[in-house]
A and B are shown apart, each in its own frame.
Chain A
Amino acid sequence: MSAYILPILFILLFLYCIYKRINTYDYFVKGAKGAIKLVVDIFPFIASIMIAVALLRVSGITTWLTQILSPIFNTLGVPPELTELVLLRPFTGSGSYALLEDVIASYGADSYITRCACVIMGCSETIFYVATVYLSQTKVKKLLYAIPVALLCSIVGTILACLLCRVM
């Protein structure tokens, strides 16, 4: 079902453009032109955050943090098996999806832990990545309280996700 939504929206968009007498090719090319420049602009920001995350993982700091945080997460109702996923989720999209695949492979696609992991992934974002990339083309140096609030919402979302998966 959900597989149809985007394709249908695309087709409707093209039909609407025909109705509005817009040269779809001209405008598509015009928009696509911006892609390379955008990627060149954000590459250093993505690379810097990925380097920091890679060092955190290879130094063993994340494993160490996982061990410390697991019992805390457990009392909050978050399965300890998901600690690393929750920990890495704000930093890396590809990394956390790789962890989700591990969870699915080791606990089965319909287990409680997998469903928790899926809802957690669906309701959270790569906060640090979003913040750095979105603000990369502005003069902003101080984010004030944006990250703490975003992280707090994420943690509440994680706890809620595990709670809901128990009953739904």
Chain B
Amino acid sequence: MTFLVTQSIKISMNIFWLIMMLASMLVLLIVNPSAMLSEMIGASTEALELCIELCAVYVVWLGFIELIDASGLSKKLAKLLRPLIKRIFKIDNEETEKLIALNISANMLGVGNAATPMGIRAMQALDDKTGKANFAMIMLVVINATSIQLLPTTVIGLRASAGSENPADIILPTLIVTVITTIMGILLVHGIEKLRQKLKGRKKK
């Protein structure tokens, strides 16, 4: 079990992407070779369109975030969340705590697009240039993946436009599930980190 935890789950994006690409290209070679290139270019066109859309979204959000920062609100928010962030991420750096506080708040409000730029900046601040993700970075990925959502705005909007009688009745179950999975994620990351420290200690002996 410990071997499993430390060795076999060292998934890197490089291997993962390679497997996805190679497997689908091999199948496509047999099934539909002519679709391969056009499909790739199609996907990258889609990515470009998405990025143009994202650029417009980021202009608005980064503008607002600068206002939040300049007015001192982000500092206040960070101060409020500081005890929690310090405990969960085991960091002690005001600037990084501020970025993480903004990232988590944006996720809670259901505006993931506003959370992204803050998440990227937080990761840059946390990076220790060793090439490996450290504890706080892993925690940030996991917390973003399970993101506590107070308001699943997009989903409610979709249901409302489809004529649902009570489109907001999914808020409570969503909240319960995200709270549970977020706590589970935090505990798991802390647990695995402890296990790794123990193993490291044993190796040194």
Contacts and interface: CB of A to CB of B under 8 A. Distances in A.
Interface of A: 1-2, 5-6, 9-10, 13-14, 16-17, 20, 22, 24, 27-36, 38-39, 42-43, 46-56, 58-61, 93-94, 97, 100-101, 104-105, 108-110, 114-115, 118-119, 121-125, 127-128, 130-154, 156-157, 160-161, 164-165, 168
Given A42-B51, A53-B43, A139-B127, A34 B73 contact: no
B40 to A, nearest CB: 5
A109 B31 contact: no
A159 to B, nearest CB: 9
Contacts of B25: 55, 59
B9 interface: yes
Given A115-B170, A154-B145, A140 B162 contact: no
A78 to B, nearest CB: 13
B65 to A, nearest CB: 6
A61 B177 contact: no
Given A6-B111, A10-B64, A38-B58, A118 B155 contact: yes
B194 to A, nearest CB: 13
Interface string B175-205: 0111011101100110010000000000000
A30 B67 CA distance: 9
Given A35-B62, A125-B146, A142 B43 contact: no
A152 B130 CA distance: 26
Contacts of B12: 141-143
Contacts of B80: none
A69 B131 CA distance: 34
B88 interface: no
A136 B27 CA distance: 29
B interface, over-half SS: helix
A60 B9 contact: no
Contacts of A55: 20-21, 24-25, 28, 36, 39-40, 43
B32 interface: yes
Interface string B106-137: 00010110001101100110110111110001
Given A29-B63, A51-B44, A144-B10, A22 B162 contact: no
Given A31-B63, A34-B58, A118 B117 contact: no
A154 B146 contact: yes
Interface string B60-93: 1011111111111100000000000000000000
Given A10-B64, A55-B24, A141 B124 contact: no
A153 B54 contact: no
B170 A118 contact: yes
A50 B44 contact: yes
A148 to B, nearest CB: 5
B67 A39 contact: no
B145 A122 contact: no
Contacts of B129: 139
Given A110-B164, A121-B154, 9 more contacts: A22-B71, A55-B24, A130-B116, A138-B127, A139-B130, A149-B142, A153-B181, A161-B174, A164-B176
16 contacts: A22-B71, A28-B63, A30-B66, A42-B120, A47-B44, A53-B20, A59-B27, A109-B162, A118-B170, A121-B154, A133-B116, A141-B132, A145-B9, A145-B10, A152-B188, A153-B181
